[in-house]
């Protein structure tokens, strides 16, 4: 017997009353000397920031989770330390993106810019062309990590089936 799955629907524009009542964006203690800010902007296919989006991070090795809504300029922010690794893979967070207009959330990943060798050997990154691969690697910016999420168009972020 297989039961039919319940379909997905959008979070809509008002998700924050239910999903981000309190800050949940710290996957690491900000006082940890290794703590980094992971910031970025979610933009639509016209380059317009998405102010009613939400991003979640999951560290599949350390089993840490966090959530950040986007602000009026589409910005999200987390406090993280770099995750551990699975054998043969580069450090990464799994990322879910939610927003008004997304009838189903999207899955992507963020890798780290100082792991060039590990990233080159990572089986998921290695399966992508150079342009696509670059969309999944954060950039170092003023002591933080910057990871912008582009939903559509040139340079759009790679999203994974799920």
The size of the interface with other proteins (CB under 8 A), counted in residues, is 61
For every residue of 95-161, which 3-state class applies, written as one string? Answer: EEEEECCCCCCEEEEEECCCCHHHHHHCHHHHCCCHHHHHCCECEEECCEEECCEECCCCCCCCCEC
In the complex, minimum distance from the CB of residue 99 to other proteins, in angstroms, rounded to a whole number:
6
Please report whether residue 38 would count as binding other proteins according to CB under 8 A.
no
Q: Are 48 and 72 in contact (CB under 8 A)?
A: no
Q: Are 113 and 102 in contact (CB under 8 A)?
A: no
Among 104, 121, 139, 141, which residue sits at the site for other proteins (rule: CB under 8 A)?
104
Segment contacting other proteins (CB under 8 A): 74-82, 96-104, 112-120, 140-148? 96-104
Residue 15: how many other CB atoms lie within 10 Å: 17
Please report whether residue 124 would count as binding other proteins according to CB under 8 A.
yes
Segment contacting other proteins (CB under 8 A): 30-38, 74-82, 112-120, 122-130? 122-130
Residues in the site for other proteins, rule: CB under 8 A? Answer: 1-19, 21, 44-46, 48, 50, 52, 58, 60-61, 63, 65, 86-87, 94, 96-107, 123-124, 127-128, 132, 151-153, 156-162
């Amino acid at each position: 017997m297989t039961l039919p799955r319940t379909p997905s629907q959008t979070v809509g524009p008002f998700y924050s009353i239910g999903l981000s009542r309190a800050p949940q964006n710290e996957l690491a203690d900000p006082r940890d000397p290794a703590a980094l800010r992971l910031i970025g902007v979610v933009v639509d296919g016209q380059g317009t920031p998405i102010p009613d989006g939400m991003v979640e991070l999951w560290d599949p090795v350390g089993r840490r989770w966090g959530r950040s809504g986007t602000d009026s300029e589409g910005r999200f922010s987390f406090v993280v330390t770099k995750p551990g690794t699975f054998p043969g893979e580069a450090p990464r967070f799994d990322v879910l993106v939610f927003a008004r207009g997304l009838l189903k959330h999207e899955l992507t990943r963020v890798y780290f810019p100082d792991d060039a060798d590990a990233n080159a050997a990572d089986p998921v990154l290695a399966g992508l062309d150079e342009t696509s691969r670059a969309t999944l690697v954060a950039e170092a910016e003023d002591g933080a990590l910057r990871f912008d999420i582009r939903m559509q168009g040139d340079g759009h972020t790679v999203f994974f089936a799920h």
